[in-house]
Amino acid sequence: MSRPSAQAVWTVFLLSLIGALVLQLIALPDSLSAARPLWLPLMLAYWALREPQLPALVPAFIAGLMLDVLYAAPFGQHALGLVVVVYLVVRLRSFFIIFPLWQATIALIPAWALYCFLMFWVDGATQHEAEVWLRWLPAISTTLFWPLLWSVMELIRQPGGDDD
């Protein structure tokens, strides 16, 4: 299959980031909102794995700043977390892509946990107290959503499912 043009890749990339931002904002019932998957880290990790030639660091930083404004968090909190996650995934890319999907799902858990910890740490450093144990729920839900996101994104980007 011929590779899509760089422009098309960028368009899909930016659109998917906005989509992840919207998913991050959609209202959930109170009981579920603590377990909201980390859509932005998920989406950025997908792109970092799938299209490593994209300079995903700066978009990750900017998307993080947007999320900070939308969540009224300290300016830079989510940006920090996203940059760290993207860096990890890009650096360890050769490690992640040799696994089949389900093993990669498990291999990515530390990345989500690290993101959760960074959010928790910045919250603590800026004197915003919160429940400790519920903090780790997103790591679980994000893990569960990784295969789904991967498959859906693959479907969207290559309708027909050719095996290249």
Return residues touching other proteins (CB under 8 A): 1, 3, 18, 21-22, 24-28, 30, 33-34, 36, 50-53, 57-58, 61, 64-66, 69-77, 79-80, 83-84, 86-87, 90-91, 96-101, 104, 122-123, 125-126, 128-131, 134, 150, 163-164
Q: At what angle do helices 109-125 and 137-157 cross, to 10 degrees?
A: 130
Q: Of the two residues 74 and 140, which places its CB atom closer to other proteins in the complex?
A: 74
Q: Of the two residues 92 and 113, which places its CB atom closer to other proteins in the complex?
A: 92
CB of 61 to other proteins, least distance (A): 5
Q: Which two tokens stand for residue 141?
A: 């839900």
